[in-house]
Amino acid sequence: MATQIPQRELRNRNADILNRVEAGESFVVTRNGVAIADVVPHAGRSAPPMFPKTKDLAERRRRSSESTPDREAWLRDIRDGEVVDDDPLNSRA
């Protein structure tokens, strides 16, 4: 549970509060009794983001191509279906 502190307390005791945040504590900063900010420990990464491995990308592509709809069936559905134009600029009122 975060501790509520007024803005002036954050201003006057910022070093102490940031030391407590570094130790894992969280705060909700208020102004005139209204919560305006959360001061929480940084959730940084210990390592830079990594790009996906080539084999993982190839596997993802293989799986997605297996589920690709049949192009001819899709075109047939488009040709046989009713045309719906939901663009408000093309409406004929």
Residue appearing with tokens 């596997």: 59
13 pLDDT exceeds 90?
A: yes
The proportion of the chain whose per-residue pLDDT surpasses 70, expressed as a percent, equals 76
Let me know: does 18 contact 5? Beta carbons within 8 Å: no
* pLDDT value at 47 more than 80: no
Per-residue pLDDT averaged across 42-50, rounded? 74
- Matching residue, tokens 């899709």: 74
CATH number for the domain running over 3-39: 3.40.1620.10
d(CA 14, CA 10): 5
What is the per-residue pLDDT for 6? 97
The pLDDT-based confidence of 70 (bands split at 50, 70, 90) is confident
Query: Collapsing DSSP states into helix, strand and coil, what is residue 93?
Result: coil
The pTM score is 0.48
